[in-house]
Amino acid sequence: MILFKKTADLDKWLDAQRKKANIIGFVPTMGALHPGHLSLIAAAKKCNDLVVSSIFVNPTQFNNPRDFEKYPITIEKDIEMLEQAGCDILFLPSVHEIYPDGFSTTKNYDLGFVETILDGKFRPGHFQGVCMVVHHLLDIVSPDNLYLGQKDYQQCIIIKKLIRIIGKSTINIQICPTLRETDGLAMSSRNMRLNAKERETAVTIYHSLLFIKNNISKGDVTAIKNKAKEILDNAGFKTDYVEIADATDLTLVNEWDGQQKIVVLVAAFLNEIRLIDNMVLN
């Protein structure tokens, strides 16, 4: 694996690869890697000549400074894991490399109503920060295929929007399924911050999703959402939301016709650690 820290060096190297008509797959991450991230690398390896990954803990997407400070960093182990997974290139930029002019040159992406609901509502500015960094990375890497995890469902919808906004619709977005621990907890870098007791409780998020999956019926979905929230409250979570939305565009669904493809989305705090998960229902 070749490690690049400078945009200019990576740019030059990738230019040469593109001239050889190599197909490039890209897996952006914030590090603290786990098997979920590696499943994206594995998917990329199947369909591309070169797999590029990046590790960058993007300050502009953290609405909570303490969450940013506490974000786990395990860079040595990450490099080893990427190497073992057969990743070809790792881009490991500094904050200055991505934001040479500081954060004041913030772009404003027109993301529409998704910025007013769910994580858009509960994490103000988060998706603008995601768009800033992904825009920058896509400009550098210009991948043919971009690999994202369903774990971050809203982020997938936002990035699909972003590539239209920035005129990069030729990039294929490949969404990979959420990898879970054996008890069902979605793998996440933030799980590293859970103590033993919190880790035991954390799986309740998955149980709340299963509860909705197994009990939802046509009609008003308010009661079932409230019941799922109660399950989380009783386990000691502080819930931001339990919501049901259209799986394609995230319009919130209050009345389900039993046909529409929907996604159940949950975000909840266990003490100071915020966990998210989702489940698509057909």
Q: Which of 128, 145, 189, 278 binds ligand AMP (CB under 6 A)?
A: 189
Q: CA of 198: how far to CAs of 65, 194, 237, in Å?
A: 22, 5, 10
Can residue 176 be called a binding residue for ligand AMP (CB under 6 A)? yes
Active site residue 207: no
Can residue 146 be called a binding residue for ligand AMP (CB under 6 A)? no
- Residues facing residue 145 across a β-bridge: 25, 172
> Which is nearer to ligand AMP, 30 or 242 (by Cβ)?
30
We find the least distance from the C-beta atom of residue 240 to ligand AMP, in angstroms, to be 17
Q: Which of 123, 126, 136, 151 binds ligand AMP (CB under 6 A)?
A: 151
What backbone torsions phi and psi does residue 196 show, to the nearest 5 degrees? -60, -40
Instruction: Go through the chain and tell me how many residues it has.
Output: 282
> Which is nearer to ligand AMP, 72 or 236 (by Cβ)?
72
We find the least distance from the C-beta atom of residue 151 to ligand AMP, in angstroms, to be 4
Q: Which of 14, 24, 38, 40 binds ligand AMP (CB under 6 A)?
A: 40
Asked whether the beta carbons of 143 and 52 are under 8 A apart, the reply is yes
Can residue 243 be called a binding residue for ligand AMP (CB under 6 A)? no
List for the chain the helix, strand, coil content (%; round to 5): 45, 20, 35
Can residue 138 be called a binding residue for ligand AMP (CB under 6 A)? no
Q: Which of 10, 37, 85, 204 binds ligand AMP (CB under 6 A)?
A: 37
Burial of 137 (0-12, 13-18, 19+ CB in 10 A): buried
Stretch that binds ligand AMP, among 12-20, 66-74, 112-120, 175-183 (CB under 6 A): 175-183
CB-CB neighbours of 85 under 10 Å = 21
Can residue 145 be called a binding residue for ligand AMP (CB under 6 A)? no
Tokens of 56: 């960058």
Residue 70's region, left for phi above 0, alpha for psi from -120 to 50, else beta, is alpha
**Which residues are known to be catalytic?**
37
Binding residues for ligand AMP, rule: CB under 6 A, are 29-30, 36-37, 39-40, 148-149, 151-152, 176, 178-179, 186-189
